[in-house]
Structure 1
Amino acid sequence: MTTSENYAPQQQVQPYPGQQHGYGQPMPGVPAHAQHAQPQGPIGRVRGTGITMLLFVVTFGIWGFVYYYQTHEEMKRHSGEGIGGVLALVLSIFVGIASPYLLSHEVGGLYERRGQHKPVSAVTGLWVFPGMFILVGPIIWFVKTNGALNAYWRSLGAR
């Protein structure tokens, strides 16, 4: 008996009309990347905006590093995408001006992967710079970004 006799011939799967390459029907109105979303990891923690801002002030900004690490790490574990906590921490230490843009971009990405409207994006980071010149810009950025992240976690059942 030869090796080719040990195996049954492979049956070719023909796609249904409207399908491409045998995959499922495309869902109208939903972006392609949201239709094939990866399994979701653990849900992140809801952080009170006022308490986090108070911790930032009381610790003379040190809490900002902790916040960037925690939030980026939670988003990476949840979605499997993003820069993660360690890289976010390194970037916030050495290239701190990029951190608000990155955080807002990744929070918006969480919504986008679910096929929802992004409440924040990298453009939201403009509230920090050059928004800092109107003094309340960074506060507006933080309220918007942290609020969007908290709303995302709550939509998944976090308390």
Structure 2
Amino acid sequence: MIHSLADVQSSKIGFDTRIWQFCVVLKNAVIGNQCNICANVFIENDVIIGNQVTVKSGVQIWDGARIEDNVFIGPNVTFTNDLHPRSGNIDYECKGIILRKGCTIGANTTLLAGIEVGEYAMIGAGSVVTKNVPAHSLWFGNPAVCKGYVTISGEILDFNFKDKNGLKHKI
């Protein structure tokens, strides 16, 4: 379903994907199956989004972004793709962001150009991510730092891989 007030220029939109009002999806963007692209989202040309991805309202996804399956992107997450932005600079080096399968990006997080967030990692709301985030790790803060680990289902573990009940998990 593409809302009548969305501007979707791409023909590469997967089955059962919903794109809500006031979204702009440029011509070369690729969006997989069963995604939910909420209102007021901008998706640039060189962006690939996998299957069953949720992008909440107010997100802009710039060239070079690669988003794998089952990723959750909270409202107002900021993607960047240039470490040294200057107005009018046509020779900038685009450094895309990679979000691996199943990761979660909390609301109002800023992702700096060139970083990768590992599979099933979780970024807390309001964080500024300045470096790569390993799989299954929990990061938050400004700058974001590792605060523990998470299971595939999102259960938070301490640095010894124990949950709140003291049960040790393998990840």
More strand by share: 2
More helix by share: 1
* TM interval, short-chain normalised: under 0.3
Higher relative contact order (CA 8 A, sep 6+): 1
Task: Report the TM-score, using the length of structure 1 for normalisation.
Answer: 0.24
Task: Report the TM-score, using the length of structure 2 for normalisation.
Answer: 0.23
Larger Rg: 1
